[in-house]
Structure 1
Amino acid sequence: MNILVFKTNIDNMQKLASVNNSFSEISEINHWSVDMEDIDNVLRIETSGNILESNIIDLLGDIDLYCRDLI
């Protein structure tokens, strides 16, 4: 299992729903969460596959969300 952690601008339920729609199509994502109370709106993803940080950054960028590697 891999854990990816990102700083994002996911700060409301509409953005969260957009992420959910995008991630629901990726079978390698086992679990993900966003801490919208954190100043960095931390996105944490647990994967079972070979998903790269750049794949997540590009995917969220495609739906106009900010996402940068936190670790």
Structure 2
Amino acid sequence: MISIFKTSVKRKSEIKLLKPHLDELLCKSRWNFDLEDSDNILRIESENCSERKVVELLEGLNFKCVELE
């Protein structure tokens, strides 16, 4: 399953800050940010991704995050 989120993450340094948190939450998943996209997309490939937990994690770290359908 692939989940896609619009985020407010804009810099590689912010991704570096998020990496340990996302790795812990999404331990057996692949994820990446596309900062060249105007929506600063977070794409997650996972069999058990909790979209709600991803949104809560980013928002808890003061980033905007909305799942795209």
RMSD: 1.2
Structure with higher helix content: 2
Normalised TM-score (structure 1)? 0.85
Which 4+ stretches in 1 moved above 3 angstroms? Answer: none
For structure 1, the 5+ residue unaligned runs are none
Task: Give the Å deviation of 1:48.
Answer: 2.5
Q: Which residue does 1:64 correspond to in 2? A: 62
Sequence identity of aligned pairs in percent?
29
Residues 1:33 and 2:44 aligned together: no
Task: Give the Å deviation of 1:61.
Answer: 0.8
Normalised TM-score (structure 2)? 0.87
